[in-house]
Structure 1
C-alpha cells in the first residue's frame, strides 16, 4: 500500500485491513497442522517449545515463568485437541464477521450513494406504511457506515483471544526484546514469535496505515509504513546482540544473524530516499542500489534458512555429514524425520518466495504489466505465511535433532 497514492477508505475495492485477520486465522490453523505433523512423526513438540513448563505454571497459579519445573502436564495429543478447539472457536467468531464485513464493504463501495443519497423524511406516525422502511434504511446506513471499524475490532479480539488463552505467548511477548537463551526450548519459542512477526510485517503495515486514516482522516506520519516495517527487524537485531553479549562474544553466529536482519534496513532506506527526494525516485542509481540491497537481503536470508535454521549442510545428502555416535536408540539419532523429498520441496518453495520480487522484476522487463503481484493483490502475504509455517516445521525439527544429538 503506497502512501503516495490517492488513498481513501471509500475508494478501496477490497477490504485490505481484513487481510491481517485472515492471515492471523490462517497462521493458527498452520500451527495446528504443524502439531499434527509432529504427532505423526512421534516428535514431542510440547518439550520443544517449553509448553510443559507453561502448563505447570498455569496449574500452580504462578505469575513467573518457572523454568525449573520439569513436570510434563501437557501431552502432545492433548495440545493438539486444545489448539483444534481454540481454532474452531476463533473461526466461528471471525469467519462470520469477515463475511459480514466484506458484504457491508461491498454495499458501501457500490450502492451507498444510491441508497442514501436522498434520505427519506421521518414519518409522523408509526402507523405510516413507510415507517418500517425508513427505520430499516437508517439502521442499514449506520451499520454500513460503521463497517470501517469492523476490521480493527476483529484484530483486537484475535490478539486478545490468543494472549488470553496462551500463557507462553503472553509471557514471551512481554519480554520479546529481552530474549532468554536458557533453557533452549524457551529460546526457540522467542525466535518463533519474533520471526513470525517479521512475516506479518507487510499486512501489519497496511493495517496500520488503514487505522491511521480511519482515526485521523489522513496519514499524519508520511513514512509510517517504513517505521512499522522497522519494528520486527530491530526486535530481532536486539535479540541477536543480546545473545551475542550473553555468550561473552564466543558465539559469532548471533552477530552474523543480526547482520542478516540488518541487511533489510538499506532496502527501507532506499524506499525512504525515493519518497523524501522524489527527484531521485526514477533515477538509475537509486533503483540499482535498491535492487542490490534486496538481492543481498534475500540471499542472506535464504542461506540462513537452509544452513543455520534447518541445519542442512548439503543439498546432495540432507544432513549426511552428521552420523550418530551410538546405535542404542536409532529413533533418537535420526537426522531426517520426514521424507527427503519434503526438504527439497521446501527449499525450492523458500527460494521462490524469498526472490518473489525478482520474478516480478524480470516479468516487468519482459513486458508483463506487473506491480507488486502476479496473480492477485496481496498474494505475497499469504505465500509468506505459508513459507513461515514450513520454516517453523524444519526449524523445530532442527532443534529436536540438536537436543538429541548435539549436531549444532
Structure 2
C-alpha cells in the first residue's frame, strides 16, 4: 500500500533537487543508456547480430521493398515499414551503436540545459511560473522528436540524405504507433515489436509519473492525483501486451499466446487492489477510523494484494526462464503435466548459448530478486520488532516503499525495474538469436 503523505525530509531533499518532470527525462535517458551499453556488449563480446533480429539493415540491397522502390522511383508508394530480404552483416551493428550514442548525447544536452534553466528560474524568478513550467513540456517534445518521430538511431552517420537514412526513423515511428493500439507484426518483426512493447510495461511507472506531472503542474496543484487516471495509465501497457497476445492467438491458434495473455492479466490484480485501497482511504469516515473499521478493510485489501502479487511474480518469473529465455530449470516440473512424460536429467540452462554459465545464473538471480522485491513491504509493519536484522529490513523497506512517488526510494524501484528489463533483453536476444540460427541450420540441412 502506498502511503499518501511522505516523510517531509525525504520529499524535500530529492524532489527539490530533481523535480518530477526531469526525473522522468532522467529515467528515459537511463533506459537509452542501458540500450546503448547492451548493444556495445553484444557487438564486442558475442556473435549476436541485433540488426538481424530486428530485421533491419543499412545495406539497401538487403531490402526487396527498397529495391522495388528505387526502380519505380516513387517514394509515395512506401507503406511506412521495411523488412530485410537478407540479414544484416554483423559489422553493420557498429552504426546502430553510433546512432544510439548520438541520440543519447542530444537528449542529455537538452535535458541538462533545461534542468539548469528550470532550477534557476524557480529559485531566482519564482513569479515567472508560466515560463519555467513550460520548460519541461518543451524538453518532453524534444525527447519524443529525437527518440521516436525523427529518430536517427538506425541512420547512417554520414550527412548525405538518401532513402535508406529514413528506414530506421520510419521503423521507430511505425512500431510505436502499432504497439500503442495493441497490434503486432508477429510474422517478420516480432522481436522488434516485443522489445518495445515489453519495455513499455517496465516503463509503466514512468508513464504514470508523466500523468502525475501533467496533473500536478497544469490541471490541479492542490488536489491529490486522480487514482482512476493512475490506474488506467499503469494498466495501459499491460492491456497493450494482452491485446497483442490475443491477436497472435487468433492468427496462429497457438494456446501459448493465451497463457502469455493470462500472465499479463495477473498484473492487473495488484493494481486493482491499489486503486481500491486509495478509494477506501478517500471515502473513509471519521467513525470508521475511530472504531477500527478502516484498519480491518485495509488489512484485508493488503492481504489480497500480497496474494495477487505472489501469483503475478511467480507466473512472470517462470515465464521469463521457460518461454522467453528458453532455459531448462523448470522442464522437469512441466514434464509432470505432459501427456508424453520423459525422464530428463535436471539442468538449469540450455545447451546452445552465447555466454558463460555464470552470466545466466546472475541474470536468473537478478530477475528473481527484482520480481520479488515487493516482499520487503511486509517489513514496513514490523517497526516494533527488536531484532537488528529485522530493524535493518524495516528501515530499508520503508525507504523503498514507505513514501510516495516523490521519494528517492520510489525512483530507485523504477531504476531497478528498467535495469531488470535490460537484463531480460540481454538473455532474450541471446535466446532469439540461437533460435534464428537453429532454424537457418535446419533449413540448410533440409536443402542439402
TM-score normalised to the size of structure 2? 0.72
The correspondence for 1:239, drawn from 241, 244, 249, is 244
Partner of 1:313: 328
* Residue-by-residue CA offset, 1:116-172 (whole Å, 9 max, x unaligned): xxxxxxxxxxxxxxxxxxxxxxxx345566333333322221111111113322111
In terms of fraction of residues, the more helix-rich structure is 2
Secondary structure of residue in 2 paired with 1:362: helix
Residues 302-381 of structure 1 aligned to structure 2 (within 5 Å): 302-314=317-329, 317-320=347-350, 322=351, 335-362=352-379, 364-365=381-382, 366-367=390-391, 368-369=394-395, 370-371=397-398, 373=400, 376-381=409-414
Secondary structure of residue in 2 paired with 1:338: coil
- Structure 1 residue 193, shift from structure 2 partner: 0.7
Residues 3-402 of structure 1 aligned to structure 2 (within 5 Å): 5=5, 13=16, 14-40=18-44, 41-52=46-57, 56=63, 61=75, 62-67=78-83, 69-70=85-86, 72=88, 75-102=92-119, 104-105=121-122, 107=123, 140-141=125-126, 146-163=131-148, 164-165=150-151, 166-176=169-179, 177-183=182-188, 186-218=189-221, 221-247=226-252, 249=253, 251-278=254-281, 279=284, 282=295, 283=297, 284-314=299-329, 317-320=347-350, 322=351, 335-362=352-379, 364-365=381-382, 366-367=390-391, 368-369=394-395, 370-371=397-398, 373=400, 376-402=409-435
Aligned length: 357
* Residue-by-residue CA offset, 1:246-291 (whole Å, 9 max, x unaligned): 10x2x21111111111001111221222222335763332111111
Distance 2:99 2:237 in 1: 29
Q: Is the 8 A contact 1:94 1:154 kept in 2?
A: yes
Distance 1:66 1:168 in 2: 7
Distance 1:311 1:50 in 2: 21
Q: Is the 8 A contact 2:59 2:88 kept in 1?
A: no
- Structure 1 residue 68, shift from structure 2 partner: 6.0
Q: Is the 8 A contact 2:80 2:171 kept in 1?
A: no
Secondary structure of residue in 2 paired with 1:51: coil
- Structure 1 residue 58, shift from structure 2 partner: 8.0
Partner of 1:136: none
Distance 1:290 1:349 in 2: 23
Distance 1:362 1:172, change over 3 A: same
Distance 2:348 2:370 in 1: 21
* Residue-by-residue CA offset, 1:46-84 (whole Å, 9 max, x unaligned): 111122289757895534313364374881122222222
Q: Is the 8 A contact 1:274 1:281 kept in 2?
A: no
Structure 1: gaps spanning 5 or more residues: 113-139, 323-334
Distance 2:294 2:268 in 1: 18
* Residue-by-residue CA offset, 1:319-338 (whole Å, 9 max, x unaligned): 44x4xxxxxxxxxxxx1111
Q: Is the 8 A contact 2:246 2:257 kept in 1?
A: yes
